[in-house]
Amino acid sequence: MTAPVAIRCEDLGKRFDDAWVLRGVDLEVRRGEVLGVIGPGGHGKSVLLKCLAGLLTPDAGRVLVDGEDLARLGPLGLARVREQYGYVFQNYALFDFMSVRDNVAFPLRQQAHLPDAEIDARVAARLAEVGLAHALDLLPRELSGGMKKRVGLARATVGDPAIALYDDPSAGLDPVTSSKIFQLIARMHARRPDAATVVVSHDVDRMRAICDRYVMLERGRVVFVGAESALGDAPEVVAAFFGGAERAPTGGG
């Protein structure tokens, strides 16, 4: 039995001026799975993620969340669908004028009617999980790139979202912190049986530990979709992404 589909793209196209960045992407993200998105830089991964979240509007095809076409939802409908999302932006997208504490508390204050003490406790706990317990009162401009990334992660996950989208979550992080972040993503995912998680990353080794399936985008098209075990049949360009020597599907790696 296959799990329900959380997000489905049908023939999704996105262009900026005359340049098509996504060209007919068909894709499913199922409840319960962690989907890894890989591919060369500049080939449409971030644009795809933003389309999945309804932050960019498709120029062709459509994106369905729980069967509802995002383009047919009004602002209220879209806001309702987005309530189940957590999003880690590649470029952090923190609120510059808010402290770390307020950035992370933001989604809880937006949605849930939680007492302040509960919000404070959840924010502190999530920041401790990403190793930033000491940074509560700092402003984004006082943080390193890696620290901003971790604040973005805390903000995206503090509400235990059902659909979590991570754009390059370990970018700019040291190896130990990167591993911790991927463990946190896996832990967040395991917290809900209906969780649908998408991770865009170049960190293929760490993705292996948490991803159930992969999609590879090249020039805005899907050139591979499947589990790692299907890599043996994948085009060379895909295998190369996973590290040539390890392409044998039964390899212990």
Question: How many CA atoms lie less than 13 Å away from 120 in the CB half-sphere?
Answer: 4
Rounded to an integer, what is the distance from CA 197 to the centroid of its chain?
A: 6
Give min distance, CB of 181 to Mg ion, in A.
17
157 lies in the binding site for ligand ATP (CB under 6 A)? no
Which residues, including other chains, have CB under 8 Å from residue 212's CB and lie 6 or more apart? 33, 34, 35, 227
Do strands 19-30 and 60-65 pair parallel, antiparallel, or not at all (unpaired)?
unpaired
Under rule CB under 6 A, which residues in 5-34 are in contact with ligand ATP?
Answer: 16, 21
51 lies in the binding site for ligand ATP (CB under 6 A)? no
Q: Which does 44 bind (CB under 5 to 8 A by kind): Mg ion, ligand ATP, none?
A: ligand ATP
Among 2, 41, 113, 176, binds ligand ATP (CB under 6 A): 41
State the amino acid at position 147 in one-letter form. Answer: M
47 lies in the binding site for ligand ATP (CB under 6 A)? yes
Task: Determine the interface stretch with Mg ion among 39-47, 115-123, 135-143, 205-213 (rule: CB under 5 A).
Answer: 39-47
201 lies in the binding site for Mg ion (CB under 5 A)? no
Give min distance, CB of 211 to ligand ATP, in A.
17
CA–CA distance, 234 with 7 (Å, rounded to integer) = 24
Query: Which helix (H) or strand (E) element contains residue 116?
Result: helix 116-129
45 lies in the binding site for ligand ATP (CB under 6 A)? yes
